[in-house]
Amino acid sequence: MSKRLQGKVALVTGASKGIGAAIATRFAEEGAAVAVNYSASREAADRLVAGITARGGKAVAIEGNLTRADQVGSLVADTVRALGAIDILVNNAGVYEFASLDAITPDHFHKHFDLNVLGLLLVSQEAVRHFAADGGAIVNISSGVSTIAPANTAVYTATKASVDAITSVLSKELAPRKIRVNAVNPGMIATEGVISAGLHEGDMRQWIETVTPLGRIGEAAEIAAVAAFLASDEASYITGETVHVTGGLR
């Protein structure tokens, strides 16, 4: 594999498991030094870092709850201290719980928006202040739900529609600083979170496979591959895009 991210420093939020772990692993394989951010899953983050370093890559695990502004500041500062100026930020950290309209509460709303939207904005704000002088790339992990809009996902879908909009806004705002901003919108991926929620089997998966043109759910590595492309110089003329990696489901 050609190392498209050789010499780059990447901060991947929520990287201890699932899509984030796949992205951190792929970025390290592509030559980047990776800050693996975690909030609660320290053991998983340490395991991931150990696996990356065992294969000759460079990675560090850094704690930080992105809903806390003070922890966002220390996360970015610790990343720069350990690895140097940031070239790539992947906003992957997020939460999802489904609820019908009747079941939505203020707590449900704030749990999603505080991390999926406010946390993304806070870490982007802080990271951009520490980007390398020649710019770089931000990759936001959004979701196919922003256009698929399934029933019983009003709050979660709203957060991801917000991520799409923020991606477009920041692509214009940060272009003068040579920072490209794009989003990857995955379909259903068999991650630990999906499995623990019981969504990897049963009605939900069957419905997705039935309506998805490619007839299957996706794999985390397939999202990581697109994120690596968007973070690399091969995507040097791409900004403000939302790339749907959903097997054709829209």
pLDDT for 1 beyond 60: no
156 is catalytic: yes
Q: Mean pLDDT, the chain, as a whole number?
A: 95
Q: Are strands 242-245 and 58-63 parallel, antiparallel or unpaired?
A: unpaired
What order of strands is seen across the sheet that includes strand 136-141?
58-63, 33-38, 9-12, 88-91, 136-141, 179-186, 242-245
Quick one: what percent of the chain has pLDDT higher than 70? 97
pLDDT for 52 beyond 70: yes
List Cα–Cα distances, 109 to 54, 58, 115, 117, 142, in angstroms. 41, 37, 10, 11, 17
- 29-43 pLDDT, tens per residue? 999 999 999 999 999
- Of the residues 38, 96, 156, 237, which is catalytic? 156
Position 195 confidence tier, pLDDT thresholds 50, 70, 90 = confident
Q: Which fold has domain 9-189+221-245?
A: Rossmann fold (3.40.50)
Alpha-carbon dihedral sign for residues 199, 96, 186, 159: positive
Give pTM, 2 decimals: 0.96
- 201-229 pLDDT, tens per residue? 778 889 899 999 999 999 999 999 999 99
- The contacts of residue 106 (CB under 8 Å, 6+ apart) are none
Report pLDDT for 30.
Answer: 98
Nearest to 144 by CA among 22, 238, 19, 14: 19
